[in-house]
Amino acid sequence: MNPTVSIIVPVYNGELFLKRCVDSILKQDYKDFELILADDGSTDGSGAICDEYASSDARVLVIHKENSGVSDTRNRAMRHAKGTYLQFVDCDDWLTVDATGLMTKAAMEHESDLVIADFYRVSGKKVSRKGDIEEERELNREEFAGFMMEKPADFYYGVLWNKLFRRELVEKYHLYMDTGISWCEDFMFNLEYIRQAERFYVLRSPVYYYVKTKGSLASQGMSLSKTIQMKRMVFEYYNSFYKHVLEEEEYEKNRLQVYRFLVDAARDGIVPPVIFPGSVRLGEEQQCLDKCLSDKHRKREKRPLYRNRKKAYTEK
């Protein structure tokens, strides 16, 4: 009998934190899951740690592969998955003890294609709750896309690990990670998935501890030209997503807000003040967007999904 949830953990040289991550998964209140540890050619002791867990718990499957990056590693794991739902965890992070159970219960009770939940941020010894979700509720695709439009660079939307996905949709529409993208690859997958999903559920409960060790494209050593190319590609897809999801009139009404993602994306790294995209300098574009959004969007009726909604236009 197949498990209800497949929990996927890509592993690369994570021996210092891997046990904390895996232990948090195996100690979940909810037990009907398989754990897929995908070792992406680790050169430390990570592979051996994975094998130890597999030898002692039948729910653990280990994949050893040559190093090819996190996107290809997740794709390989997804193709091995047998669960009704997919859950993703990074090997240096960990779950709350009720994470899988809370998201699975919500998905089943509300027949959701995507469940999204709150999370904790861990910076050194400081742990803080993200805490912006104001109420639990069901959403359709248009409603969910509307909230995402207001703060597109937010982790709520950009990452995989605070979500539960229905595997049937992934397989039906061949939704896998783009191995040619090394920035916002999670967000690109999410956009592809949201295009096909119909029912969404938002959970207030935090389910995940995210360790703030990841860097921007600049800290990854990516060249300026590659950075611009990558960000432009992601923005163009994001823009295309809203043209697909929204009616033409609704898209035109919200086009400036969609373009806000251009500013949020550029803030992550070394792009300003280069020309991106087209012939308008980012600084001028940002001033224009700020003015237009201030005039047009900040006056809109406050919607109930998030607290402190004004920050959506002024903070990353």
What pLDDT, on the 0 to 100 scale, is given for residue 311? 36
β-strand pairing of 5-11 with 114-123: unpaired
| pTM, entire model | 0.83
Which pLDDT belongs to residue 257? 81
pLDDT at 275: 36
- Which segments of 66-216 are extended strands (E)? 85-88, 94-95, 114-123, 126-129, 137-140, 163-166, 199-211
On the CB side of 269, CA atoms within 13 Å amount to: 25
Span 234-258, pLDDT tens digits: 888 888 888 888 888 888 888 888 8
Look-up of token digits 């823009």: 239
Q: Please report which confidence band the pLDDT of residue 266 belongs to, taking 50, 70 and 90 as the band edges.
A: low
Helix (H, G, I), strand (E, B) or coil at 268: coil
> For a pLDDT cut of 90, what percent of the chain falls above it?
57
Handedness of CA 267, 271, 276, 279 (dihedral sign): positive
pLDDT at 304: 44
CATH fold of 5-220: Spore Coat Polysaccharide Biosynthesis Protein SpsA; Chain A (3.90.550)
Name 137's bridge partners: 202
CA distance 87 to 95: 11
